[in-house]
């Protein structure tokens, strides 16, 4: 993978399907916490995962437009309600006329506070116990419940064709300026950047255990979080093992 801030890269592809990293912001130039956005292209349709807030809209749209036309985007997935995920949704819906919002029904009433103008969004409300969408190629996107990690209605996406798991805030590593790398190269060093965030933001060890049980039967090649570096090869099982052992939230007792 390349190391240029903001530059997209195809993480996986075949003749019908692509899983694309849409780049990440430079923390020296973008306010807030730099975030990753991803897009799944299947046939002539596309789905964008956690499209982001208003201030990164121009950068991300520019990268999306390298691969698909605006009308090809069929879904804007929001893993939960945080503004770094959803604050730019009105702009996305104006730019992508055929896109529906894919989100837990728990957050629908919050979305109605967004400045949508005359066009209210078409919403696919995810079922609490999980959901799926069948793609043009016949493959599936599976929406995996990750409740209380950290949001009470939280979902991740498993792309069955590429075997990539989009893990939202789980696996986020908040790194120092100048230390950004798109792929985890040294797990021990990277775990230092994950620990504080996970201990404070993830609700409990029980929530983690329930989630790990849900993904235990998935064949995962990459884990792609919304913040920080991507896990691949041997760092995938190492991250899962680390997550199973760390105390988080009410069980961490860090306050």
What's the mean per-residue pLDDT of the chain? 89
Which residue matches tokens 């929530």?
Answer: 207
Name which residue leads in pLDDT, 88 or 249: 249
Query: How many CA within 13 A on the CB side of residue 255?
Result: 8
The CATH homologous superfamily for domain 9-251 is Ribonuclease Z/Hydroxyacylglutathione hydrolase-like (3.60.15.10)
> Would you say how long the chain is, in residues?
255
pLDDT band at residue 2, thresholds of 50, 70 and 90? very low
pLDDT band at residue 173, thresholds of 50, 70 and 90? confident
Count of other CB atoms within 10 angstroms of residue 134: 11
Name the pairing type of β-strands 164-168 and 140-145.
Answer: unpaired
Rounded CA-CA distance 152/123 in Å is: 19
Q: Which residues sit opposite 236 in a β-bridge?
A: none
What single-letter DSSP state applies at residue 138?
A: S
Per-residue model confidence (pLDDT) at position 17: 98
Per-residue model confidence (pLDDT) at position 147: 98
Ramachandran category for residue 228: left, alpha or beta (phi over 0 → left; psi -120 to 50 → alpha): left
Rounded CA-CA distance 7/245 in Å is: 34
Question: In this predicted model, what pLDDT tens digit does every residue of 128-167 receive, in sequence order?
Answer: 999 999 999 999 999 999 999 999 999 999 999 999 999 9
Looking at residues 102-112, what average pLDDT do you find? 83
What single-letter DSSP state applies at residue 50?
A: S
Please state the domain extents for the chain.
9-251
Question: In this predicted model, what pLDDT tens digit does every residue of 43-63 receive, in sequence order?
Answer: 999 999 999 887 888 889 999
Rounded CA-CA distance 218/16 in Å is: 22
pTM score: 0.92
Task: Report the side by side order of strands in the sheet with 131-134.
Answer: 131-134, 140-145, 155-159, 164-168, 222-225, 231-232
Count of other CB atoms within 10 angstroms of residue 87: 17
């Amino acid at each position: 993978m390349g190391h240029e801030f903001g530059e997209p890269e195809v993480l996986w592809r075949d003749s019908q399907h692509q899983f694309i990293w849409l780049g990440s912001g430079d923390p020296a130039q973008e306010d807030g916490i730099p975030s990753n956005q991803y897009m799944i292209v299947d046939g002539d349709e596309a789905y964008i995962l956690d499209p982001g807030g208003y201030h990164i809209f121009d950068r991300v749209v520019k990268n999306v437009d390298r691969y698909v036309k605006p009308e090809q985007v069929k879904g804007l997935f929001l893993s939960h309600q945080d503004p770094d995920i959803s604050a730019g949704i009105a702009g996305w819906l104006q730019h992508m006329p055929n896109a529906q919002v894919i989100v837990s029904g728990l957050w629908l009433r919050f979305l109605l506070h967004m400045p949508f103008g005359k066009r209210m969004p078409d919403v696919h409300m995810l079922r609490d116990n999980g959901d799926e969408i069948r793609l043009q190629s016949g493959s599936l996107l599976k929406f995996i419940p990750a409740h209380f990690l950290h949001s009470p209605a939280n979902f991740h996406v498993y792309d069955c064709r590429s075997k990539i798991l989009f893990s939202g805030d789980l696996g986020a590593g908040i790194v120092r300026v100048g230390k950004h790398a798109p792929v985890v190269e040294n797990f021990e060093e990277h775990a230092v950047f994950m620990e504080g965030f996970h201990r404070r933001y993830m609700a409990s060890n029980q929530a983690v255990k329930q989630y790990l049980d849900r993904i235990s039967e998935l064949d995962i090649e990459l884990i792609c979080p919304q913040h920080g570096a991507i896990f691949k090869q041997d760092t995938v099982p190492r991250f899962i093992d680390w997550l199973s052992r760390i105390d988080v939230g009410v069980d961490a007792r860090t306050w």
